[in-house]
Amino acid sequence: MGAPLGSNGWPVDIQDPLDPKKMARKVSLRDRALSISGSSEKFFEAGGVRYSHIMDPRTLKPVQGILSVAVLTTTGTIGDALDNVFFVQGVDQTRASLAKHPVGTEAMFFMPNGDKWTMVSVK
């Protein structure tokens, strides 16, 4: 917890959801935890469509339209629970439900954009 001596926080790189050799974003953690859920390593493509291993229990089908979700919150346990929930909920529902979670909880959605990605931050 806290931060390294002489620093504002622990520097952590978030992996690019399309290229594991690249970093998508750097975050600084001070008394917070980072948890990430995504389809960058567990997915398959069929007919030009990418299918995630994360299932939507409402449809019983793989979630589509999201590459990964990074959650910053107070503990790793909370983040681990929320990253899958937010992945399934999507940006709009997550934005609406964040008020129910600890202060300072935020999510970064990495969305497909052609052969690249776009990040949407939800606080």
Say if 17 falls within a structural domain. Answer: no
| Domains held by the chain: number | 1
Domain membership of residue 16 (yes or no) is: no
Look up the CATH number of the domain holding residue 90. 3.10.520.10
Contact between residue 20 and residue 40 where contact means Cβ atoms under 8 Å apart: yes
**In this structure, is residue 14 part of a structural domain?**
no
Asked if residue 77 belongs to a domain, the reply is yes
Tens-level pLDDT at each residue, the chain (123 residues): 788 888 899 999 999 999 999 999 999 999 999 999 988 777 778 887 777 888 889 998 888 899 999 999 999 999 999 999 999 999 999 999 988 887 889 999 999 999 999 999 999
Task: For residue 120, list its beta bridge partners.
Answer: 109
User: Residue 42's domain spans which residues?
Assistant: 25-122
Residue 88 lies in a domain: yes
Q: What is the pTM of this model?
A: 0.89
